[in-house]
Structure 1
Amino acid sequence: MKITGINLDVIWKNKEANFRNIEQALESQEADIFVLPEMFSTGFCMEASEVADSHEESLSFLRTMAKEKNAAFCGSAPVKQEGKFYNRMYFVHPDGQTDFYDKRHLFSFSGEDEVYTPGKERVIVHYKGFRILLQVCYDLRFPVFARNNDDYDMIIYVANWPEKRADAWEHLLKARAIENLCFVFGLNRIGTDGNDLFYRESSHCFFADGKEIAVKEGNIISADPDLQELLEFRKHFRFLDDRDHFTIKL
């Protein structure tokens, strides 16, 4: 399976411009899954009442792209639903079927927890034989929430993770892959946002042993995770059999 992400320089609060840039960046690309950054249509913005989708604008775009490319699309967007705001990660299948995960760990350092409502469910998507755990940015710092109970094969993280903390982002991505014996695809944005935070290119795809398997060309990052290779690795290194068992209370 091929997974491809865009290191997108997200235009601040400009959905149409971001939609156009994504279309152009992917015009000649082919993949089974395309990944876009956290809040790909607006940037990581706390003015939710100004930017949040109330008519599924970002979701409609993803569905259009999924149909055109005959591929799955995922990324997060600010969403307003029943008077509340969510940082919602969509996973849109080629036929338009949609799974979504509302970001559980809200970034209190930026005030995200004062604006958005945390999710209440851990979401695993089934696609082309893979079981995929959906996670958003700050979730990466909380390994218990991502603990593999033999229920997934890959984690996809979408993020707006600034350059000044990018080393932590990269080390934690690798750690999640090693400790959970899974593929980890972490997609970050690039450029400078409306808060003058700079984001350097720092997207990766790691195998269960911590090795990088992604190929980067321009602002495109791609990987070809092999499920059979992962299953053979787990069969040989049965570390998950010795994991601690606990219940997560959401």
Structure 2
Amino acid sequence: MPPAKKRARKYDPLRTRGAVLTQLGAVREAVEGLDPGQLALPTRREGMTMRELAERVAAAVVAVRQAAERPAQFQQTLPLAEWPLRKAAAFTPVPLDLAAAEADLRALLGDHAGSPLVDTGAGVLPLNEYLVTLAVELVLAADDLSGAVPGLKVPLDRHALAAATRLLADALALKAPGGSTEVRVPPYAVVQCVEGLKHTRGTPPNVVETGPLTWVRLATGRLTWEDAVARAEVSASGERADLSGLLPLRG
């Protein structure tokens, strides 16, 4: 018999919406507190200043409205875990006005209590699943902002970080299917991946464990596997526990 198809992870719609709005509000407040000199500082994203990063956040939020305005009914939907593995759709440049973008997103979500299919530019997703991808963008933005300005610490919403962690972990399992390696990102995600002998009980022969924010950085290229291991930010045991050839999943 063929192996049973793994059930796709579900995300609570209300919790996801609340997390996205909370994380967006934290990013907006941080950006509003920056002076012109700070906005000109470089970020972890190569060639991108703080201002350009903030403009990208505004564009990512506005993209939700744009997607909702081009509904994609009766089209095959993209498995959510595949989204991080696809080439990112280019965001349409917008003015740096995160307050207006946040207000528009709140209004949009108020108008769409359900989850219509929308064309994201990288595939068709239900609106509520598209918001999970926005959570990834916002968590990355908060972390990138915190790393660029001395003393700045943008709060990370727990549910936004959980959504980002789980989506990127599921993407790894999709990219490298198998059961020989267990990747643990407590307290949010555990996935099995990499071809090889699958363990069924007891301690797996190959185990990778790291924290949520470290995992998000690894999966998106903010941190290299070698640096994470050297700093003891990730533990890896077993001959199939080296994930350097699989990361990053998305830039």
Q: Same fold (TM over 0.5)?
A: no
TM score, norm. by length of structure 2? 0.30
Structure number having the greater strand percentage: 1
TM score, norm. by length of structure 1? 0.30
